[in-house]
A and B are shown apart, each in its own frame.
Chain A
Amino acid sequence: MNLLVSVLFLPLAAFFLALFIPRSSPHGSRMWALVASLLTFVTSLGLLGWFDRSAGGEQLAIDVPWIASPEIHFAISVNGVSLWLVLLCTFLTPICVLISWNYIKDRAKEFYAFLLLLEFGLTGVFLAQDLFLFYVFWEVSLVPMYFLVGIWGHDRRIYAAVKFFLYTFAGSVLMLAAIIYLYNKTSTFSYPAIIDMLSSGKLTFGATEQMVLFLAFFIAFAIKVPLFPLHTWLPDAHVEAPSAGSVMLASVMLKMGTYGILHFCLPMFPSAARTCAPWIAVLAIIGIIYGALVAMVQPNMKKLVAYSSVSHLGFVVLGIFTFTQQGLDGAVYQMLNHGISTGALFAIVGLLYERRHSLDIVDYGGVATAAPWLSTLFLVTTLASIGLPTLNNFVGEFLVLQGTALANFTWTVYASIGVILSACYMLWLYQRVFYGEVKDEVRAHVPDLNLREYAAIVPLVLMMVWMGVYSQSFLPPVGQNTARIIQQTNVNVPYRVQIAPPLSGTEVARAR
């Protein structure tokens, strides 16, 4: 059987089996979720072996007719970008199970079942090559997340869950209209076929037509990213979600938006994308600075991390709309980095909450004395998040800024402010929570990590170091795929596009 099919359907099968575990045995649900998600992760590691790095392009494709009329196929394949995003998803799911182990006591069966369903939906979004199928996964992933936030979240969980659902749903109905329009025009939902038609000139869009279609897709994605000013659902959802929900939401779900922009918007509607690029870049920069400034004044740790996500995702969008190799590579790398480091931040904040039952920064102080290892791991994550060299975010931010500099140097200047601000708010957070006088409640209630928690956090920290020191393990497939995307954006574009002189190979290698 095709490996991709196994990776995709293992979580779904596990979800159905999880429904049959008796409600009286929450431990059974936990164990089952852990075993199933680890199994999925190991299976997905097989993708690394099967993915042919020298070939690039879409691989391990499978295409089965699903619905005859209108012709809809179950078509999935993996490329250099989605490969890493799928791995990120399968890697984080067992971690989410581990950090929820003791925290989720109420309705554990449903919780773990939804987590597995979420993994299925998210993996599917990254793999789908049929526009209809993509939309199906896009919406399906919404349902478990809605329940995760709404049932197991904090005080304002209902408001957050409904807002999250409605925002995404409202954005995506217009994408559905655009998908149907494309079908009526091309009589296919197959994404590769549409790209073929575009590059061979069989399919062309008028200027207005292309702009409307681009916006229909882009707004759906921009809400998910979220791009300023469509970000208002994010702080609510992230703060109210249980830790596992926050991790999946921030680390994987937001990437659905950026991946969508990269994979669908750019190649299908290149000239509209280029026309809008300056505006979008400005919004991204506003997001970077605004997110950082708002993060700085947050009294709530989760809210701080949530706003830092707005800022970080601004870098990703900025990188994509530079239309340079470095910018796109950096954007993709930054998606993965953000997944790892913000995932770790949310996970550790969740562990603190489990101990002290508070997310307010003022309730903490001197945690480093009480829980030295927890603090050390949080420090590494903090440093990674602010982009310290040898840790992962540095590579991504550097590439994005380099790409931005090639496209428009002014943007780089403003975007760099975001890097400085991120150091401010993260270090200040660290100082207030971990240093200073040890509060009595902290001393009494915050023990250091136990074995299970090490098992959840240490892999994340190891990944930060690996991705920071040896990005070469990850970037080549990404580069191949982004090069292909850039090439597609140059098809049928009526006007000049690229200012930057092509860099020589050695320079690019050095930059990485």
Chain B
Amino acid sequence: MPVSPVFYPQDAVRFLPEIILTVAGTLLMVLDPILRKRTSAVFGHLSLVALLAALAGSLYANGSGGPAFGGMLNVDAFATFFRVVVIVVGILTVLPSYRFLARQDAETSEFHALLLFSIAGQCLMAASNDLIMVFIGLEISSIASYVLAGYLRDDKRANEAALKYFLLGSFATGFFLYGVALIYGATGSVNLTVVRTAILHGASDPIFLGVAAALMFVGLAFKVSAAPFQIWAPDVYQGAPTPVSAFLSAGPKAAAFAVFLRIFMTAFQPIGSRWEPLVWGVALASMCVGNFAALWQTNIKRMLAYSSIAHAGYVLVALAANSDTGTAAAMFYLASYACMNIGAFSCVAYLSGKGERYQSIEDFKGLGRRQPLAAAMFTIFLFSLIGVPLTGGFFGKFYIFKAALESRLVWLTVLGLLNSAVAAYYYLRILVMMYMHEPTEAAESAEPLSPSVRVALILPALATLVLGIFPTWVVEFAGKSAALVK
């Protein structure tokens, strides 16, 4: 499909969230010298306003949805769903970072500007219907997040994390780009709809196509930290500043899964029988590696990193189902995963103290006694990560395994569910520390909850509970948009 050079006004409307975020990010950097003299919290306020505007923008764009820029973007319900998810992830990242950055004496505009750029990239990934656009979105998102990972310049671990993330991330993008090139060679187009038609008509060499799909799969598996491409995740999550780890574990992951679903459910859906076994294996490997490795961790950020590998495995189970229910299940799971995981990281960010001294699981001892509200919210996130009913995590898991059983993936379901029982152990360990031990230094020195931290903890906790108790609306929206991805 030739790209039309004509610019239609509605294209701008459909591109609204990205425009708002980019403009706001640039403004933040420009205004830095002027604003810095006042209070440094103003950066946070500005980026919150920008994110809320982008949220409104993406909902408005959904109202006049459709293809934009000659079919390079496709603003449908699916795109809106993921745009909303990544923007909400952004909001939930900004909230705890107020106190966190103040404590590290690192309140600058760059943090917020980079965050907004990264989210803009992710919004673009969610909406793109063209492999080149996917690639551009991926790069915008990734490059901003590499810098974010190393944001605390003086911290050796953060530098290590940034470098590792950058190197492995570049490899992954390289793989992906190779795949895109092969696809272009095989089908003569990078537009997903056109590629799908080409594959359906059998116009291309199946081996060529298989290699292309495999390369793109590897690239995306890196981005979602699925085993065996997960090695970077624990080091990066541990080294990066905690709010950034929270963001990395939810935002880029959700966007990468959006691309994953879009590419594999649109372009490669006709050759589903070929990639399903591959996804099956990667899903199982991710669940097992993530859960069993997490059992031995003593650093809570590392543990949450392994847990996020396992959760990527659960989402891949939904992808392996290769059905509309599977897509909807994956979408729902990513939404609830974003809430519970960011919430969990926010609790860690709250406790960690200056210079992130307290990151050991032992440091959570007695938090339930000293800071009952923070501990109670963390409890909700942990139960949701375990998959206890009345939380979003449970309903998401339920929905994923329902989809898997519908597609007759009985063994994957059984092994996945048993995995979630194994996972319960390491999440329970944190609860044990918080409630069943006497407070130690970390809990004693935890500062009182500031209003921003309070909101940062209560908001995702409420969202987790609402997704678990009244999931209907989100499930229906996900179901409707899953049917559109084809």
Contacts and interface: CB of A to CB of B under 8 A. Distances in A.
Interface of A: 23, 67-70, 107, 135-136, 139-140, 142-143, 146-147, 150-151, 157-158, 161-162, 165-166, 169-170, 173-174, 176-177, 180-181, 183-184
A183 B406 CA distance: 10
B421 interface: yes
Interface string B453-481: 00000000000000000111001100100
B306 interface: no
A151 B435 contact: yes
A343 B228 CA distance: 52
B413 interface: yes
A176 B398 contact: yes
Given A165-B424, A165-B428, A158 B436 contact: yes
Interface in B386-436: 386, 388-390, 394, 398, 401-402, 405-406, 413-414, 417-418, 420-421, 424-425, 428-429, 431-432, 435-436
A67 B435 contact: no
A140 B389 contact: yes
Given A165-B424, A183-B402, A140 B388 contact: yes
B424 A69 contact: no
A150 B417 CA distance: 25
A138 B431 CA distance: 20
Contacts, number: 81
B383 interface: yes
B477 to A, nearest CB: 11
B436 A151 contact: yes
A183 B470 CA distance: 19
B401 A176 contact: yes
Interface of B: 369, 372, 383, 386, 388-390, 394, 398, 401-402, 405-406, 413-414, 417-418, 420-421, 424-425, 428-429, 431-432, 435-436, 470-472, 475-476, 479
Contact of A70 (B372, B402, B413, B418): B402
B472 to A, nearest CB: 5
12 contacts: A23-B372, A69-B476, A140-B388, A140-B390, A142-B388, A150-B435, A161-B432, A162-B428, A169-B421, A170-B418, A176-B417, A184-B402
A136 B390 contact: yes
Nearest to A19: B376
Contacts of B435: 147, 150-151
Given A158-B432, A158-B436, 9 more contacts: A68-B476, A70-B402, A139-B388, A147-B435, A150-B431, A151-B436, A162-B428, A162-B429, A180-B401
Contacts of A147: 435
A181 B406 CA distance: 8
Nearest to B420: A173
B465 to A, nearest CB: 12
B401 A177 contact: yes
B417 A173 contact: yes
Nearest to A132: B398
Contact of A177 (B417, B428, B436, B475): B417
A177 B405 contact: yes
A165 B386 CA distance: 11
Contacts of A174: 414, 417-418
B480 to A, nearest CB: 10
Contacts of A173: 417-418, 420-421
B437 to A, nearest CB: 8
B390 A177 contact: no
Contacts of B420: 173
B interface, by DSSP: helix, strand, loop or mixed? helix
A70 B405 CA distance: 14
A184 B398 contact: no
Given A170-B418, A181-B405, A150 B432 contact: yes
Contacts of B369: 107
Contacts of A170: 418, 421, 424
Nearest to B404: A180
A169 to B, nearest CB: 5
A67 B435 CA distance: 33
A139 B389 contact: yes
B383 A143 contact: yes
Nearest to A23: B372
The 3 closest A-B pairs by CB, nearest first: A170-B421, A173-B417, A136-B389
A180 B402 contact: yes
B151 to A, nearest CB: 37
Contacts of A183: 402
A107 B436 CA distance: 11
A158 B414 CA distance: 28
B398 A180 contact: yes
Contacts of A150: 431-432, 435-436
Given A67-B471, A135-B389, A184 B405 contact: yes
A69 B472 contact: yes
A158 B433 CA distance: 10
Contacts of B475: 67-69
A146 B383 CA distance: 12
Contacts of B418: 170, 173-174
Contacts of A23: 372
Contacts of B372: 23
Contact of A143 (B388, B401, B432): B388
A146 B382 CA distance: 14
Contacts of A177: 401, 405, 413-414, 417
A51 B475 CA distance: 38
A217 B479 CA distance: 30
Contact of A166 (B417, B425, B471): B425
B389 A69 contact: no
Nearest to B369: A107
Contact of B424 (A70, A157, A166, A184): A166
Contacts of A169: 386, 421, 424
Nearest to B407: A184
Contacts of A107: 369
A110 B127 CA distance: 47
A166 B472 contact: no
Contacts of A184: 402, 405-406
A285 B257 CA distance: 53
Contacts of A157: 436
Given A157-B436, A180-B402, A166 B428 contact: yes
Contacts of A166: 421, 424-425, 428
B248 to A, nearest CB: 29
B266 to A, nearest CB: 23
B198 to A, nearest CB: 34
Nearest to B395: A67
Contacts of B402: 70, 180, 183-184
A136 B388 CA distance: 8
Residue among B372, B390, B431, B476 facing the most chain A CB atoms (10 A cut-off): B431
A143 B402 CA distance: 24
A139 B472 CA distance: 21
A183 B403 CA distance: 11
Contacts of B383: 143
A143 B372 CA distance: 17
A158 B435 CA distance: 10
A114 to B, nearest CB: 11
A158 B421 CA distance: 18
A107 B431 CA distance: 16
A143 B420 CA distance: 16
A206 B193 CA distance: 43
Nearest to B468: A136
Contacts of B425: 162, 166
A474 B424 CA distance: 40
Nearest to A135: B389
B436 to A, nearest CB: 5
A260 to B, nearest CB: 16
Contacts of A165: 424, 428
Contacts of B401: 176-177, 180
Contacts of A135: 389
A387 to B, nearest CB: 38
Residue among B386, B429, B432 facing the most chain A CB atoms (10 A cut-off): B432
